Amino acid sequence: MPQKPVPLKAVTANRLREGDVVYLTESGLWTAWLNQAVTSNDSAAQDDLLKRAEADVAARKIVGPYLVEVTEVDGILQPLSTRETIRAAGPTVRADYRKAPLVAEA
């Protein structure tokens, strides 16, 4: 029986300081743009990408790295899950609602 192909995946995480969604690039830097992410459909290469990300966890640059399935449509990377589509698009709360006062109002 033929083996099922490994899906195309990228590494995502959150930047520790701001909490922004980021993706690992080929150069080992983190970007907010999914289309700049390094991808692979080789499970060994995917494991290596996660190991690279773990070094940045130890350096306290990012938290919670994991692999996310993506597909390429007309040269543009797109996440396959609804959760990752929302994460890639940015916050779902209006910007004026995100700025909570430092002191509770009476």
From 8, 16, 13, select the one nearest 87 (Cα to Cα). Answer: 13
pLDDT by residue (tens digit) across 22-76?
999 999 999 999 999 999 999 999 999 999 999 999 999 999 999 999 998 898 9
Is it the case that residue 2 has pLDDT exceeding 90? no
Report pTM: 0.80
How many other C-beta atoms lie within 10 A of the C-beta of residue 32? 13
Task: Rounding to the nearest 10 degrees, give the CA dihedral for residues 51, 54, 58, 63.
Answer: 180
Distance of CA 20 to the CA centre of its chain: 9
